[in-house]
Structure 1
Amino acid sequence: MFTRIPVPQGVARKLQTMILEGDLKAGEKIPSQRELSERFGVSRASLREALMTLETIGLVKTEAGRGTFVVGTSPASAKTMAEWRYSHTYSLKEVFETRLMLEGEIAARAAGRLVADDLDTLARLTDDMERSWAARDYLANVEADLKFHAIIARACGNKMLSELYGQVRDQVTETQRQPIPITDPKRMEASVSEHRRLIDALACGDSVAARRAMSEHVANTAACAGYDICECGTPGDRS
């Protein structure tokens, strides 16, 4: 089934391609928002959203009064995470804590409920995550990751839990992007392995193993972003 790509995400993809293919080079100031919005035929609001996404994954940096500049073709060029965009409502730590509790329960309840097609899709999405990271397509990496978690949420057998996950999807999305600029390649390899262990637990109907696999995965993602969180949801800052 065809899924319509949100306008900001489509613009972000185009700009990412321009950066990766060298049309926009490291250190170069990108065209003004007015120029880009006219070029892509989108509103400035959609363009700003696209630029914020690229800044979160470490490809561009906006400097007040100067404009937006290309950081590099790899998120590692940024070396630090972008400012957490939901700080006016929830801290990054709070969102990771919520993910730990919510997604751990969702995974436990989804164990044994996913049909063969679902499990095959989870495996394919995990492969997509691995391939897109190697190709430096960081937007596709996050998109595959989000689809992976959404499938599990839909299969948990509890409508309220599924809807709660949907209600915090924007914040969850940002926690997937936030650590990218400081993610070591070894961590991405580990993340892919964590997804595959989770699939195995879900396929076997082992709720205990599924909860553990999901909780470890979320906790390790949080650690990459700079937070140690435990299963009771009482984390301590790594710093």
Structure 2
Amino acid sequence: MLNKTLVPQSVAREIQTMIQSGSLKPGEKIPSQRAFSLKFGISRASLREALLTLETLGLLKTEAGRGTFVSDASPAGSSHMAPWRYSDSYSVFDVFQTRILLEGQIASLAAGRLMANQLDQMERATRQMEECWARQDLLANVEADLEFHGIIASACSNAMLRALYQTVREQLTETQRQPIPITDPARMSASIGEHRRIIAALRVNDPALARLEMETHIRNTARCAGLEP
């Protein structure tokens, strides 16, 4: 049985496929949450999580009082991002600023601790990001990005920082999805290059360079989202 994290992701993948295949057409209103939750055999809470993920990626848009619709335009290269879903607790600026501090230190403390197979796995995740972007599989593109960053966090020598990373993972993940609708091919290509520079710094066990490359990568992602943390 799928766990509570994988259920929304699995349903989001099915809905993304429906959009890409034309089963759900641009501008079309999607079925009610009740009808969709029955169709997929999941709770409304899991369905809402799946819909929020697709909205953040720019595949869906919600209009107050009208419902949720398939986006008219191609999500990548759109002119706007979805509303920040954690605004009641933290601004997107706060989360990006925290990412720079937290993941920069984590990368520094992971240098010299990553096994060759983990570095190879990070290379594969980066290739997957590139390939999935080319075919506009946005869910898989972000999943590969999450895997890349998660591997580094798992190798951090500080147990409290590893735990902290997991505690705020949902908010961090949202900053990895949030800029996708306004990310153009040139920015995605640059982001993939930044991943490869992070891997190179970790392969030579250089903590200072690993920190610098990670901080630069996250700052550039924030700039893509219109922020200067």
Length-normalised TM-score, structure 1? 0.92
Retained in 2: the 8 A contact 1:19–1:73?
Answer: no
1:107 is aligned to 2:107: yes
- Residue equivalent to 2:200: 200
Asked whether 1:63 is paired with 2:28, we answer no
Match of 2:165 in 1: 165
1:71–1:78: 8 Å Cα contact kept in structure 2?
no
Aligned 8 A contact 2:77 2:183 in 1: no
Q: Report SS of the residue matched to 2:76.
A: helix
Deviates more, 1:94-103 or 1:26-35: 26-35
Secondary structure in structure 2 of the residue aligned to 1:81: coil
1:46 deviation in Å? 1.0
Residue 135 of structure 1 is matched in structure 2 by: 135
What residue number does 1:156 align with? Answer: 156
Equivalence for 1:233: none
State the alpha-carbon separation in 1 of the partners of residues 104 and 19 from structure 2.
37
Deviation of residue 67 (structure 1)? 1.2
Counterpart of 1:121 in structure 2 is 121
Q: Unaligned stretches of 5+ in structure 2?
A: none
Structure 1 CA distance for aligned equivalents of residues 44 and 98 of structure 2: 32
Q: What secondary structure, in the 3-state scheme, does the structure 1 residue paired with 2:68 have?
A: strand
- Structure 2 residue 50 is matched with structure 1 residue 50: yes
- Alpha carbon RMSD of aligned pairs, Å? 1.5
SS at match of 1:75: coil
**CA positional deviation for 1:74:** 2.6
Is it true that 1:18 corresponds to 2:13 in the alignment?
Answer: no
Structure 1 partner of 2:75: 75
Give the Cα–Cα distance (whole angstroms) in 2 for the partners of residues 100 and 220 of structure 1.
11
* Contact 1:125–1:148, Cα closer than 8 Å, also in 2: yes
Give the Cα–Cα distance (whole angstroms) in 1 for the partners of residues 197 and 77 of structure 2. 31
SS in 2 for 1:228: coil
**1:95-114 deviations in Å (ceiling 9; x for gaps):** 00000000000101111111
In 1: Cα distance, 2:200 partner to 2:104 partner: 15
For 1:175 and 1:225, locate their aligned partners in 2 and report how far apart those are by CA, in whole Å: 9
1:87-106 to 2 correspondences below 5 Å:
87-106=87-106
> Structure 1, residues 195-221: CA drift from partner, whole Å, max 9, x if none?
000000001001111011000000000
Unaligned runs of 5+ in 1: 230-239
Match of 2:224, as an amino acid? C
Q: Percent identity?
A: 63
Equivalence for 1:236: none
Deviations 1:24-55 (A, max 9, x none): 11111111111111110011111111111111
2:37 aligned partner: 37
Residue 79 of structure 1 and its aligned partner are, at CA, apart by 2.2
Task: Report the residue type matching 1:108 in the other structure.
Answer: S
1:64 to partner: Cα distance: 1.7
Match of 1:179 in 2: 179
Distance 2:52 2:125 in 1: 25
In structure 2, relative to structure 1, the CA distance for the partners of 1:37 and 1:78 (3 Å cut) is farther
What's the counterpart of residue 145 of structure 2? Answer: 145
What TM-score do you get using the length of structure 2 for normalisation?
0.96
Determine the structure 2 residue equivalent to 1:232: none
Q: How many angstroms does 1:73 deviate by?
A: 6.6
